[in-house]
């Protein structure tokens, strides 16, 4: 049954891209005829600067965008959400990806391209108000600091627990630099260098599997090793965010996209070859010791269905590199389908693959023999604490079915997770630099417009969250992990706010030839806006009650602030409609 379910989901993704994405592009985003899409000038050409605005071939930009959005979240989220059974997780992955997440990413990309590569926050000032722009930027600034801190901690933890991944992940940086030089300086076609780079990466995976590197060999404890990795990661991110995008980020993400395609192909091949049965129930009965499926299922799956961070990538970096408007559907909508496919693979590993695991070590339960769904998901604390272990172990079992050794299979899965977390980390740093620059422009603070100052502001607070301990009363805890409970909800809050802006923006562009502005909202944007807004309001209210009951002042204050900011944006949106402050958008 797992094979038929997998094929059905992949078929729905293909149909969605073929029909729904095309209809959205023509009827809602008004992309025009294929000829118009080919000739419409994009910011990558009109504002080309060789650093951020760089016209990029579709296949390379697809890889850059895809791997920037496909971080660890679409792997971790479905693994945790499998606690409620396989059916709810898969239904939300499919419906959320097709009708919400992909539309959100596609719309943010098109709107930003039409606005000279400016961010969603800049568009907010046009369709809502200048003060709403400052609010939106402030929300994003805090959110991205949290993203950077959490991903840096997650990568550092994986480097310490999986030292076999250190060589391949870091060797990939050198390979990407060489590939960027060949593509843009020597004008070599991308096919051969990309294939060579992929082969070198897998050779490094084999090398790393036999030569793990860890700071413990130099006398560092696990905690000290993790902190050292965090420092090194933020130094790398700061440098990478200032380099021209074609030197490192584009080629690295291009290599990672190939790695993901190969990894997904191997995972599905192993699934089809082994033909395992579902080890998880379709729907788990409610338990008083676990949170309710609604609304936490939706914010737990997170990026596997909808993510506000994707709108930042679409309007922050990708829109500045889009070569032709005709590439927007493949990159905006198609990349989210790729992320949905990754979420599908993660779910299958968690609900079927873990039944094939003989021996393993789980973060929350220690050594286990003959792992199964019921052992892994016996409690909510274990399910949420084990995070991506189900993907590494279950996916590794699929690869072992194809003849790979246990160590090599698990190293491949670990490298896959770390590589995509790392691409999200360096892209988020670059986006945060743009956000700080935009705050400087909005407030006319010249120091914030300096790229080096902006980079420091992007990196230093995030590093502090990742490194500093906070006394919680029951022991010290990293500040970044302390704020983690609101990460998934705030991510989807950002998506709800982006949908609000996009709904009003594209309503303004649906004008008659005489210049009259229609009062009709585009339903494919408005309906997801109401759904995601409702989910996040309920989820954050639910969490706020928990934080108040536990006496956690920091999380109570943060949750209250986020709720207030979202309410403010909703009020601004309502006022914009009532006053009809919607002006015809730029038509290219």
Tens place of pLDDT per residue across the chain (588 aa)? 899 999 999 999 999 999 999 999 999 999 988 888 888 899 999 999 888 899 999 988 998 888 888 877 788 889 999 999 999 999 999 999 999 999 999 999 999 999 999 889 889 888 888 888 888 888 888 888 988 988 888 888 888 878 888 898 889 889 989 998 998 888 888 778 888 988 998 898 888 878 888 898 888 888 889 899 999 999 999 998 898 888 888 888 888 888 888 888 999 999 999 999 999 999 998 888 778 888 889 988 988 899 999 999 999 889 999 999 999 999 999 999 999 999 999 999 999 998 888 877 777 777 787 788 888 888 888 888 777 788 888 888 899 999 888 888 878 888 888 877 888 888 889 889 989 998 998 888 999 999 999 999 999 999 998 888 766 666 666 776 677 667 788 888 899 989 999 998 998 876 433 445 455 789 999 999 999 999 999 988 888 888 888 787 877 888 888 888 878 888 887 787 776 544 444 433
* pLDDT (0 to 100) of residue 249: 80
Tracing tokens 């149909």 back to the chain, one arrives at: 15
Determine the pLDDT at residue 23. Answer: 96
| Beta strand spans in 409-475 (E) | 469-471
Q: Which two tokens stand for residue 560?
A: 């209250």
**Calpha distance 273→271 (Å, rounded):** 6
- How far apart (Å, rounded) are the C-alpha atoms in residues 392 and 416? 9
Q: Nearest 5 degrees, angle CA 108-CA 114-CA 119? A: 50
User: Residue 59, Cβ neighbours under 10 Å: how many?
Assistant: 16
Name the helix (H) or strand (E) containing 361: strand 359-362
- Residue 579: how many CA atoms within 13 Å on its side-chain side? 11
Residues 251-276 as b/e (b if ≥16 CB within 10 A, e otherwise) read bbbbbbbbbbeebbebbbebbeebeb
**Residues 141, 143: Cα–Cα separation, whole Å:** 6
This prediction's pTM: 0.87
Sign of CA pseudo-dihedral 30, 31, 32, 34: negative
Report yes or no: 511 and 157 within 8 Å, Cβ to Cβ. Answer: no
Please give the domain boundaries of the chain with CATH numbers for all domains.
Answer: 2-100+117-579 (1.10.4160)
User: Which pLDDT score is estimated for 26?
Assistant: 92
pLDDT at 69: 87
**What b/e string do you get for 74-101 counting C-beta neighbours within 10 Å, with b at 16 or more?**
bbbbbbbbbbbbbbbbbebbbebbbbbb
pLDDT of 471: 66
Phi, psi angle pair for 61, to nearest 5°: -65, -35
């Amino acid at each position: 049954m797992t094979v038929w379910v997998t094929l059905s989901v992949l078929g729905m993704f293909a149909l969605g891209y073929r029909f729904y994405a095309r209809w959205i592009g023509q009827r809602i985003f008004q992309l025009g005829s294929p000829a118009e899409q080919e000739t419409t000038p994009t910011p990558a050409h009109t504002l080309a600067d060789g650093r951020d605005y760089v016209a990029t071939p579709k296949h390379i930009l697809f890889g850059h965008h895809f791997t920037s959005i496909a971080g660890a979240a679409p792997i971790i989220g479905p693994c945790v959400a499998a606690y409620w059974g396989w059916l709810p997780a898969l239904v939300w992955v499919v419906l959320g990806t097709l009708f919400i997440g992909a539309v959100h990413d596609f719309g943010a990309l098109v709107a930003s391209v039409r606005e000279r590569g400016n961010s969603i926050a800049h568009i907010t000032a046009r369709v809502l108000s200048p003060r709403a722009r400052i609010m939106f930027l402030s929300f994003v600034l805090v959110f991205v600091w949290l993203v950077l801190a959490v991903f840096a901690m997650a990568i550092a933890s994986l480097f310490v627990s999986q030292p076999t991944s250190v060589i391949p992940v870091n060797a990939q940086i050198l390979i990407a630099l060489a590939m960027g030089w060949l593509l843009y300086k020597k004008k070599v076609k991308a096919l051969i260098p990309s294939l060579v780079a992929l082969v070198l990466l897998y050779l490094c995976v084999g090398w790393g599997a036999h030569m793990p590197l860890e700071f413990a060999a130099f006398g560092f404890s696990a905690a000290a090793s993790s902190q050292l990795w965090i420092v090194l990661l933020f130094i790398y991110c700061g440098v990478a965010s200032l380099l021209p995008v074609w030197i490192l980020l584009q080629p690295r993400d291009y290599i990672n996209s190939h790695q993901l395609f190969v990894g997904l192909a191997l995972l599905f091949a192993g699934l089809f070859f082994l033909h395992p049965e579902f080890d998880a129930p379709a729907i788990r009965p409610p338990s008083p010791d676990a949170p309710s499926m609604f609304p936490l299922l939706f914010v737990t799956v997170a990026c596997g269905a909808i993510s506000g961070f994707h709108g930042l990538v679409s309007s922050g970096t990708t829109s500045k590199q889009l070569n032709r408007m005709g590439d927007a559907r493949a990159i905006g909508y198609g990349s989210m389908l790729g992320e949905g496919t990754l979420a599908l693979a993660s779910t299958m590993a968690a609900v079927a693959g873990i039944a094939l695991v003989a021996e393993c070590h789980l973060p929350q339960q220690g050594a286990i023999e003959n792992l199964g769904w019921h052992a892994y998901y016996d409690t909510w604390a274990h399910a949420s604490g084990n995070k991506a272990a189900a993907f590494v172990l279950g996916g590794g079992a699929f690869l072992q079915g194809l003849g790979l050794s246990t160590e090599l299979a698990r190293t491949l899965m670990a490298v896959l997770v770390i590589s995509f977390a790392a691409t999200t980390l360096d892209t988020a740093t670059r986006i945060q630099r743009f956000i700080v620059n935009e705050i400087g422009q909005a407030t006319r603070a010249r120091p914030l417009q300096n790229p080096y100052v902006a980079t420091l502001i992007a990196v230093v607070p995030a590093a502090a969250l990742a490194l500093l301990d906070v006394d919680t009363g029951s022991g010290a805890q990293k500040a970044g992990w302390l704020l983690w409970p609101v990460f998934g909800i705030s991510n989807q809050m950002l998506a709800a706010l982006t949908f609000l802006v996009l709904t009003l923006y594209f309503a303004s562009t649906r004008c008659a030839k005489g210049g009259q502005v229609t009062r009709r909202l585009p339903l494919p944007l408005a309906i997801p806006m109401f759904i995601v807004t409702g989910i996040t309001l309920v989820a954050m209210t639910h969490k706020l009650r928990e934080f108040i009951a536990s006496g956690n002042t920091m999380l109570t204050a943060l949750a209250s602030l986020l709720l207030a900011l979202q309410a403010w944006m909703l009020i601004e949106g309502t006022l914009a409609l009532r006053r009809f402050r919607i002006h015809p958008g730029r038509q290219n």
